[in-house]
A = this chain, B = another copy of it.
């Protein structure tokens, strides 16, 4: 390696293979650290990709129909006839959004979430709005999916109802651990359950339809009590739009693939695009099937038994093995659906961190090649929501999906703008933008129309949301998203300000150091402090050892030993009869500052013991950190901890 180092000061490329694995409780929980060379293999194919990215979208069939019913219930059971027409409208919207996103995936092979598309085509502010909306909705996805999963569980085992919040929070942390292990291993874990769910639901819908046709499907036996407020409201356009808004929760998760293209095997865009189409078709079929059958069996929306549970026990004639299989499949996919957010939230916050809108720490991978900070933040925020809303899907749903639809609008508006730019390029010209390459496409007008129509449609949906769900809780999201945007801007400003202050424009070379004074703190003379003294003497000729005297006997012992071991270094004893530790040292340093020469450096050396067990650190003063805080605004003072390994 030394041979690689030229003496002329030019840069040398030095390749590394990453840190050494260590065994610890952490590695037991999240696995051995992966070497960097492993990273390229961490990509996934279409089948596993569907499992990882589609679980959110597919799982929303477990609650979307029910949430439509909850709103319609205000007008009495007679309004339930509108469930199927509303569902058809939602599936049409879904088809539109999917086509729109399929175009995005091919335009942005490196990942084209709303944030990137808005940033590259619409500018910084729309990008921040898209980012804030998505981050909010990822958190809500975890809270809603887990809450709904637990609701399925409590439908089958009502005894668990009292512990729903605890169970939900425990599940969030379980998924967090899975994700800290890395994306591929998580993918394998999720593939089985997702396909099990798809199989079970398709089977349930098919059996249900056959029984409808053969006229043997009855109504729900012992339906849950129909809970309805004081007076029935009439069936108005507003009510139907409100129901439609709640039902659009079915669309959340459709954008997941466009954010996660880089996780796919090559050819990425193609694989991701095909996965998106599969996903939308399965989602549409299941959602329509469930909504249709729900009407046939006269299911009742309830906090105590989910519509899926009512459907399954009607189709299968009771709480038998088929019922239990359907419920477990639904429970598991909902729990795993949260996983989509655990793949996307960290990826998005890494992007935004790299752009300086979030703390840069989000942009760095942990030892398992995942963005650990984002994963942890998501788990904590989602748990808080679950606790706050007592794991009730019905209470969470008014907050849900607004963010996603805002990001849909921005993303599609950005794509429309992009096609416009492409249409005005000369043929054969290529323009490189940050996230993609612009190349002339003769079909730009059609494509622009598709994305533009999608943008208008989803904007209308956002307005419908804001109007119909405002007082149910949507106002909270409409307050929080601007606050997040403010925070993002403030962070960005901080980084810009910092860059400005650190800029080398008009910079004069730092004048050479005239004097380097080393001050060392020593409470007693022993192997550790003598090792630190050795270090201090290596830094400079000018070393002063300070001893804060809190106990005359100890000080006397210190002076005696100093004569033997002090190597003639200057010792200054600071009296502190009232057992104050830092004030005498600070006062001494302040006195020195008054006589400091220009360009004089001061290094304060603090001996520090490294105990075998980290817990023993609690038994020692954190002298260096405290001094560092106290002196952080004084220029040209460096605090250095010199470690001494006790064992």
A interface residue numbers (CB < 8 A to B): 1-2, 5-20, 33, 36, 39, 350, 359-361, 363-365, 367, 369, 491, 494-495, 497-499, 501-504, 507, 510, 512-513, 516, 525-531, 534-535, 538-539, 544, 547, 550, 559, 561-562, 565-584, 586-588, 590-591, 595, 601, 609-611, 616, 618-621, 628, 632-633, 635, 637-643, 645-647
B568 in contact with A8 (CB, 8 Å): yes
Give the complex CA separation of A187 and B535 in angstroms: 48
> What residues of chain B lie closer than 8 Å to A583, measured between beta carbons?
16, 18-19, 33, 36, 367
Say yes or no: A359-B619 contact (C-beta < 8 A), given A8-B568, A502-B528, A503-B526.
yes
Can you list 23 A-B pairs, Cβ within 8 angstroms, ordered by A?
Answer: A9-B569, A11-B559, A14-B572, A16-B588, A18-B584, A33-B583, A36-B583, A350-B579, A359-B619, A365-B579, A495-B619, A498-B609, A502-B529, A502-B609, A502-B646, A503-B527, A507-B527, A510-B534, A512-B534, A516-B538, A632-B643, A637-B643, A638-B642
A634 to chain B, nearest CB (A): 8
Say yes or no: A494-B619 contact (C-beta < 8 A), given A538-B516, A566-B9, A576-B16.
yes
The number of times this chain is found in the oligomer is 2
- Give which listed residue, B495, B502, B531, B550, contacts A510 with CB less than 8 A: B531
Give the complex CA separation of A394 and B572 in angstroms: 57
Give the complex CA separation of A645 and B634 in angstroms: 8
A611 in contact with B11 (CB, 8 Å): no
B502 in contact with A12 (CB, 8 Å): no
Interface of chain A, main secondary structure: mixed
> What residues of chain B lie closer than 8 Å to A561, measured between beta carbons?
504
> What residues of chain B lie closer than 8 Å to A565, measured between beta carbons?
504
- Give which listed residue, B17, B620, B642, contacts A587 with CB less than 8 A: B17
User: Whose C-beta in chain B lies nearest to the C-beta of A13?
Assistant: B573
Say yes or no: A638-B633 contact (C-beta < 8 A), given A14-B572, A571-B10.
no
B535 in contact with A9 (CB, 8 Å): no
Give the complex CA separation of A601 and B582 in angstroms: 29
User: Whose C-beta in chain B lies nearest to the C-beta of A587?
Assistant: B16
Give the complex CA separation of A365 and B544 in angstroms: 25
B9 in contact with A571 (CB, 8 Å): yes
A158 to chain B, nearest CB (A): 28
A221 to chain B, nearest CB (A): 42
Say yes or no: A640-B643 contact (C-beta < 8 A), given A584-B16, A591-B1.
no
> What residues of chain B lie closer than 8 Å to A559, measured between beta carbons?
11
- Give which listed residue, B19, B535, B567, contacts A582 with CB less than 8 A: B19
> What residues of chain B lie closer than 8 Å to A9, measured between beta carbons?
562, 566-571
A371 to chain B, nearest CB (A): 9
> What residues of chain B lie closer than 8 Å to A507, measured between beta carbons?
527, 530
A586 in contact with B645 (CB, 8 Å): no
B643 in contact with A12 (CB, 8 Å): no
User: Whose C-beta in chain B lies nearest to the C-beta of A547?
Assistant: B11
A-B pairs, top 5 by smallest CB distance, nearest first, are A502-B526, A19-B583, A9-B568, A16-B587, A18-B583
